[in-house]
Structure 1
């Protein structure tokens, strides 16, 4: 097995070129400008689930298309790498709907992941008797929650099953591609968890935000998917080495350093580093830690992932009236193939201005353990999306000029009951490996800001290790 040359500078290897890995690399260089940083990405491109592609000649997002603006990490990263502040934009409309019982109904405002603080505002999505049940909130046995519980079990017990089936499920499906009965209340809806441990009412009004009416989401002109490219340029300008097609097959101790085995089994290359960040999904992270941290590897192996697909449509503008709001969500109980649709041209002004001839729409499909629909070919997924979006709108869509199908296999980690404790145990064992850190959507949230926050945590661990080892007598540098 050949070896890469050894540098006299501290070397940090980041495994995974999604936004977590790229952000980690940038944070390391911010703290240690003289470090040598290598990013190893197994695929043929950087960016993970952030991606733009041309559809009808217009470049649009085919992965994540919005950023949670109530957290600063994603917007701050964009500005750090030179994105024009004017390119950080708010949605033109945040008025979303739920496709329930054959009609589109406005998503009630003042909800916490679908749980309405004012149940009568959900009339339409819910029947009158379901609204009455939600209003007659029932206390959790004992009054306060002592241990983690599923979102579905908790909300159903307190406000009725219909609130879960008709409101919570479509919102959780959009974020996690999962079902409420399998997701941790503590990990996925911390605002509800905080109320649960206090024994507080779910009907308490939401606190008024200090930022007034500022929308909770933001986007980037040109697409959120442009962000990885901006980070890659910033990294290259600072001397980082970024490699695609670099499959990391092993991680082992090499004296006081770490050795990564990279490349094919027939022609492996050893890459040595003083610190390593594993910014990859749970399965590959588990494989790489199997010998070094077996309990952490088992914990990672227990984290399921869900696959999904995003179908982007460009339809003729002629014959398509103004679209109602930003899109709609679909409860699983409706039995539809799609779980949501985004009216991109209406939601984002910059998308609406891309073409005078076509309108861009998106539909997403696929939920955890219910991925049979994803076994259909691309043409079938497009046909399903066109038919069901048209049905929801009450009229067939105009002719499709172009389309794009993006499949995200195993793209969303599932935060099962006990996830917070599982992550703490994983990190506790990894902490015994000097200079090794983990980051990504597996740990503290699947949204872009949460992923970037996990990268910042990993980068701090790496820089603290390198600083300590350099300063200590007998340190490796």
Structure 2
């Protein structure tokens, strides 16, 4: 092996494997702390599921399209890399649920689909369904234990209908999974903890709502003049964030290589690593694996077999986004930012976002067009995602016509597939992550980051990256004579 030793005495060298937002955030954190950083991305572009694009000349996100602003990590990162003045609140946050053939306004006062008041779900649920939600107050406390599937728990307390019509399209849509498998502890931790100490689920929802109301708006968001918006976008697209972070990493002296997959990790000395790619081998004082769980498992198999086995058990869902551009004059009046679709109704799409109505920068970029997108695919629906582009477009148009009356043909369409893009968080996921981290902690100066661990949203990915980087930075304050660096 010919090891790359260029600049090996310039300071602690960290190799980051993976150029999604987690890998980029880790590289940024490490570079600002004075580490020499090399980021390796197997794909020919950076950003992972963040991808800015265009359709018929209109700018649009072809991947993730918003940041949860009440968590500080992603907003703070955007500001740190010069995008603070481009943060933008949605022009509208009103949404609907397409249920039983009608668009029903999204109920207010819920926590990820779990209502705090039966009256809030009138119009969405049947009379019996509304009564069943209220019946939670009459039930004895439920023993939750260490974890529980949120769908099973809510169904037991409030009935299956509220799960089918609200929790499933909302929370299940976020994870592209099944609410009856999704861990309540991992996906809605505040509600999980509240439910363990309150006698009813309704009381737990109210407790979470009170805590949320007492929490000040994210300081970074408030500083932009956007106040306490729950979600924020970026003018030009969330997909512009990876490029801005990459530019900041390079400005801090970091090296970024695309089209470079990591094939193996080799221990060197007591604490060092060699990171092996097809054409080069990099000597590293520390490594961050910000890759999907299966890839991390393959790299760790010879070093932490228990962690690798656990990582191999993490399942992923695939999804497709169908982006459509219409002549604005052909589109009927549509309300709000879009709608969710309960899987129980048997439609193809699981949601639609009216991008040109939700984000001012989309409509400003092409005022004569109306851009929207639909999403298809949940865990176990691989065949759906792999249908021909034309089939997915036609299926989307059929559902859109039924839901909204939109009968026009689009002037342009594009399908973006995210194969194996969303890790699943079943019951016991956090316990698995804890076991993985405990096993990996026995390895010197190697950490994990990404969507597979602490949440699938952008802020959670950034937080996991910062955790990994900070732990490596902390170890860099000791001296390792074997590596030839002051660490």
TM range (shorter): over 0.9
The aligned residue for residue 113 of structure 1 is 112
Is residue 445 of structure 2 the alignment partner of residue 435 of structure 1?
Answer: yes
Structure 2, unaligned runs of 5 or more: 218-226
> What's the secondary structure of 2:136's corresponding residue?
coil
Partner Cα separation in structure 2 for residue 126 and residue 142 of structure 1: 24
Residue in 1 that maps onto 2:202: 203
Mapped to 2, the partners of 1:282 and 1:414 lie a distance apart of 11
Maintained 8 Å contact 2:12/2:485: no
**Taking structure 1 as the reference length, what is the TM-score of the superposition?**
0.95
- The residue that corresponds to 2:25 in the other structure is 23
Aligned partners of 2:122 and 2:410: how far apart in 1?
35
Per-residue CA deviations over 1:218-266 (Å, capped at 9, x if unaligned) read 1111101000010111111122110011111111201131011102xxx
Q: Aligned with 1:175: secondary structure?
A: helix
Query: Which of 426, 431, 434 is 1:421 aligned to?
Result: 431
Mapped partners of 1:233, 1:140: distance in 2: 56
2:39 touches 2:256 (CA, 8 Å); kept in 1? Answer: yes
Q: Is the 8 A contact 1:338 1:365 kept in 2?
A: yes
Q: Whole-Å Cα distance in 2 between the matches of residues 45 and 242 of structure 1?
A: 11
Are the counterparts in 1 of residues 17 and 40 from structure 2 also a CA contact under 8 Å? yes
Question: Which of residues 326, 330, 339 in structure 2 aligns to 1:315?
Answer: 326
* Contact in 1 for aligned 2:185/2:192 (Cα 8 Å): yes
When structure 1 is superposed on structure 2, of 12-21 and 346-355 the one drifting more is 346-355
SS of the counterpart of 2:478? helix
Q: Report what 1:254 is aligned to.
A: 268
CA deviations on 1:324-376 (whole Å, 9 max, x unpaired) are: 10100011101111100000111111212221221110100000012221121
Report if the CA contact (8 A) 2:350-2:377 is conserved: yes
**In 2 relative to 1, CA 197–451 (structure 1 residues): closer, same or farther, beyond 3 Å?**
same
CA contact (8 A) 1:434 1:465 kept: no
Contact 1:140 1:157 in 2 (8 A): no
CA drift at 1:139: 7.1
Determine if the alignment matches structure 1 residue 371 to structure 2 residue 386.
Answer: no
Q: Structure 1: how far apart are the matches of 2:140 and 2:32?
A: 50
Per the alignment, residue 73 of structure 2 pairs with 73
Alignment of 1:349-388 (within 5 A): 349-388=360-399
Residues 433, 141 of structure 1: CA spacing in aligned structure 2 closer, same or farther, 3 A cutoff?
A: farther
* Deviation (angstroms), 1:86: 3.0
Question: Shift in Å at residue 144 of structure 1?
Answer: 3.8
For the pair 1:243 / 2:257, whether they are aligned, the reply is yes
Q: 1:274 to 1:149 in 2, by over 3 A?
A: same
How many angstroms apart in 2 are the aligned matches of 1:373 and 1:58?
27
SS at 2:123 equivalent = coil
The answer on 1:405 being equivalent to 2:415 is yes
Deviation per residue, 1:83-138 (Å, 9 max, x gap): 1x331111111111111101110110111110111122212221011000111106
Partner in structure 2 of residue 100 of structure 1: 99
3-state SS, counterpart of residue 318 of structure 1: helix
RMSD across aligned C-alpha pairs, in angstroms?
1.7
Residues 444 and 451 in structure 1, CA contact (< 8 A), matched pair in contact too: yes
Counterpart position of 1:469: 479
The offset of 1:209, in angstroms, is 4.3
Aligned with residue 317 of structure 2, among 302, 306, 309 = 306
- Name the residue aligned to 2:163: 164
Q: State whether residues 272 and 483 of structure 2, in contact with CA within 8 Å, keep that contact through their aligned partners in structure 1.
A: no
Query: Where in structure 1 do 4 or more consecutive aligned residues deviate above 2 Å?
Result: 138-144, 199-202, 208-215, 472-477
User: How many angstroms does 1:474 deviate by?
Assistant: 9.0
Contact 1:112/1:191 (8 A) holds in 2: no
CA shift digits 1:445-466 (9 cap, x unpaired) = 1000010000000001111122
**Is 2:39 the partner of 1:45?**
no
1:196-231 deviation line (CA, Å, top 9, x unaligned):
211442223321245478321111111010000101
Which residue number in structure 1 is paired with residue 172 of structure 2? 173
**Does 2:304 align with 1:285?**
no
Mapping for residues 333-352 of structure 1, pairs under 5 Å: 333-352=344-363
Give SS of 2:350's match.
strand
Worse overlay, 193-202 or 235-244: 193-202
The one-character-per-residue Cα deviations of 1:66-90 (angstroms, maximum 9, x if unpaired) are 100110111100110111x331111
> How many residues are aligned here?
468
Distance in 1, matches of 2:119 and 2:442, equals: 52
Instruction: Report the more deviating stretch, 228-237 or 211-220.
Output: 211-220
In proportion to residue count, which structure has more helix? 2
Q: CA deviation at 1:321?
A: 3.0
Q: Deviations over 1:32-71 (max 9, x none)?
A: x2x2200000001000111011111122101000100110
What CA distance in whole angstroms lies between the structure 1 residues aligned with 2:293 and 2:55?
32
Report the 3-state secondary structure (helix = DSSP H, G, I; strand = E; otherwise coil) of the residue aligned with 2:281: strand
Given the two structures, how large is their TM-score scaled by the length of structure 2? 0.93
Q: Secondary structure at the match of 1:60?
A: strand
CA distance in 2, matches of 1:291, 1:220: 42
Aligned-partner Cα distance in 1 for 2:354–2:171: 19
